[in-house]
Amino acid sequence: MQAPQATHKQIRTMVRDHETYSKPKIEHSMELSPEPPPEDSIARVARPSFLQPVLHFASWLNNCIVPPVCMSCHSRLDTHDALCPDCWNGIGFIQQPVCDRLGIPLPFDAGPKAVSAAATANPPDFDRARSVAHYAGTMRRLIHDKKYRDRHEGRQLLARLLTSAGQELITETDIIIPVPLAWSRLLSRRYNQSAELARLLSSATNLPFEPHLLYRRRRTRPQVGLTLAQRRENVVGAFAVSARGKAKIRGQRVLLIDDVLTSGSTVNACARTLKRSGAASVDVLTLAIATGHAVAPA
């Protein structure tokens, strides 16, 4: 997953490969082909040849009207929905080996299913968590920069990074559920980033996407700035499963989607609620993890 000091050309290749890999529908298997298929063969199969000039012109016109820029720093690029080399190299991808429960990096490979001391001391209520990157640098900027929310392709790139990071969870998932926003906050923001990522992940994997089964019973204070104890208290009783949801969740392996995993209080509260409603397991997949925090149960 890591891209050590990629050049501009390599970045374009990586982003294009994410596009290429995402096209087939994947059913309970997220193995990525080690070799991308030839680019020209995809174009020939995908579109009739007489459309190519039209598509090239449309692309040229689009680039004239909306010049392509880096998704993070907005420097000029020659393609849309990509990152410049500096920003790509600024993503601190989570690398193996990781703790099987918390998804945080381990200092050495202790074998499959190795668990960190933090997870042993305070087992989380979810089963396993995985994240694309550390909550820092480019990934932190992308999550904070709401500008990409209106850029479909930009969101798709983030969803593909999620798909890759969550391979081992996705193969053991029955249903995808996002961490919900309170209705009042959804109205003010007009956008639930976690739900949008979950929807795109569902589209890429053919796994069912259920955004309404888990909901917030009440609005909670923002977790930022709270102590661990305050975060736990803040989300007590905050989540519930609808009556229809209980029937759908019973016995299901749930993959819970959020943008950032910090203290774990929110996803732990969600996991407890889902398991009380009969979920067989609850895994967590996020874009970023704040490894400076102690991920602990709420």
In terms of C-beta density within 10 A (0-12 exposed, 13-18 middle, 19 or more buried), how is residue 108 classed?
exposed
Q: 150 is written with which tokens?
A: 């209106």
For residue 216, the cross-strand partners are 239
CB of 105 to Zn ion, least distance (A): 25
Amino acid at 128: R
Count CB neighbours of 271 within 10 A: 26
CB 185 within 8 A of CB 165: no
Q: Give, as ranges, the residues between 86 and 105 that touch Zn ion (CB under 5 A).
A: 87
Q: Up-side HSE of residue 237: CA atoms within 13 Å toward CB?
A: 1
Among residues 4 and 53, whose Cβ is nearest to Zn ion? 4
Question: How many CB atoms neighbour CB 276 within 10 A?
Answer: 13
Nearer to Zn ion, 151 or 293 (CB): 151
Least Cβ distance, residue 196 to Zn ion (angstroms): 22
Beta bridge partners of 27: none
By CB under 5 A, the count of residues binding Zn ion is 5
Q: Minimum Å distance from CB 80 to Zn ion?
A: 13
What's the rounded Cα separation, in Å, for the pair 250 and 70? Answer: 43
> Minimal distance in Å, beta carbon 116 to Zn ion?
33
The yes or no reply on residue 256 touching Zn ion (CB under 5 A) is no
Is the CB of 72 or the CB of 273 nearer to Zn ion?
72
**Closer CB to Zn ion, 72 or 266, in the complex:** 72
The three-class DSSP label of residue 213 is coil
> Based on CB atoms, which residue is closest to Zn ion, 142 or 204?
142
Site string for Zn ion, 50-89 (x = CB under 5 A): --------------------x-xx----------x--x--
- Min. distance of Cβ 86 from Zn ion in angstroms? 6
Residues that bind Zn ion (CB under 5 A): 70, 72-73, 84, 87
